[in-house]
Amino acid sequence: MKVIEVISYDEMSELAARYFLTKITTYPRLTLGLATGSSPKGIYQYLVHDYDKNRTDYSHITTFNLDEYIGLSKDHQNSYYQYMHDNLFHHVNIPPKQIHIPSGINDNNQAECEVYEEKINAIGGIDLQLLGIGANGHIGFNEPGTPFYSKTHVVNLTASTREANMRFFNNICEVPSQAITMGIQTIFNSKEIILLASGQTKQHAMVQLLSGEVSESFPASILNKHPNITVIADEEALLLAKEIGLR
Ligand SMILES: N[C@@H]1[C@@H](O)[C@H](O)[C@@H](COP(=O)(O)O)O[C@@H]1O
């Protein structure tokens, strides 16, 4: 696991965005795994700014998002569908048919998960996966205890994850209690992964991740076994890990 320390959220975003742009402009076909939340927002801003300036072509890009809340429609202001379109998809030329986000409103969640997983496999897997990390080590919405071999599935969100995401809603009751998420195995199968961590709330997660101990009680820990992962973290996120000598 390669760890790059940067000064700030902005530096993290720019570094990761530049790396994405290198891949986007080099490969004739590229499948990106994308994340939501605060961590990747700066990257999307950078990519949109670049697109406005340079008209970088995205017509060969296919995307798969990590997760979506169950019960939120596409046009709900807090759906990840809405987040992705507001922050990226409305602004660059990825063909809509090449954009994939699990649907949180469907007749059969199980079937939705299976079809999603099949689509990822059919295209040959994810080339570059962007990840944030939850304070409890969740990746996507894979909460502690999720089997490492899990594929795309329905999850019950923990109280701590719902509380962490409450900042986007009016109150805790509005935060959905379930989601569809790529599984840990689905994520792990990506050929390359970039994980972002910024700020004080990620300090404990960084300590656990960088300790190298691999356990299903801390989902992100499996990434220690991935052959091509880079963690880009800012000084604040790494503070505790450095204090106890993990870096
Ligand atoms: N489902 C998302 C994750 O994909 C994200 O990585 C995590 C951290 O979010 P943030 O980047 O806002 O700290 O929160 C949410 O629960």
Ligand 1 site, residue 181, Cβ cutoff 6 A: no
* Long-range pairs of 161-167 with CB within 8 A, sequence gap ≥ 24: 161/134, 161/136, 164/134, 164/135
Residue 247 has pLDDT above 90, yes or no: no
- Hey, what are 40's tokens? 């990747």
Reported confidence tier of residue 39, pLDDT bands at 50, 70, 90: very high
* pLDDT-based confidence at residue 130 (cuts at 50, 70, 90): very high
Q: Tokens 């076994």, residue?
A: 225
The string of pLDDT tens digits covering residues 145-175 is: 999 999 999 999 999 889 988 999 999 999 9
> What integer best gives the mean pLDDT of the chain?
97
126 CA → ligand 1 middle, Å: 19
pLDDT grade, residue 108 (50/70/90)?
very high
- Domains of the chain by residue range: 2-243
Class of domain 2-243: alpha beta
Does the active-site annotation cover 118? no
What phi, psi does 126 have (nearest 5°)? -90, 130
Pick from 12, 38, 39, 160 the residue to mutate for probing ligand 1's pocket: most ligand atoms within 8 Å of its CB: 39
Query: Does the annotation count 67 as an active-site position?
Result: yes
φ, ψ of residue 64 in degrees (nearest 5) = -130, 125
Query: What global pTM score does this model have?
Result: 0.96
Is 52 noted as a catalytic residue in this protein? no
Confidence band of 36 (pLDDT split at 50, 70, 90)? very high
| Choice from 9, 36, 69 to test ligand 1 binding pocket (greatest atom count within 8 A of CB) | 36
Decide whether any atom of ligand 1 lies within 6 Å of the 39 Cβ: yes
- What's the mean pLDDT in 209-234? 98
pLDDT in tens, 47-67: 999 999 999 999 999 999 999
Q: Is the CB–ligand 1 distance for residue 38 below 6 Å?
A: yes
Dist CA 178 CA 108 (whole Å): 14
Rounded Cα distance, 158 and 201, in Å: 17
For ligand 1, whether the C-beta of 137 sits within 6 Å is no
pLDDT score of 182? 98
Residue nearest to atom 6 of ligand 1 (CA): 132
- ipTM of the prediction: 0.95
Residues whose CB falls within 8 Å of the CB of residue 48, separated by 6 or more in sequence, listed in order? 87, 88, 91, 92
Asked if 138 is an active-site residue, the reply is yes
Q: What is the mean pLDDT of residues 78-100?
A: 98
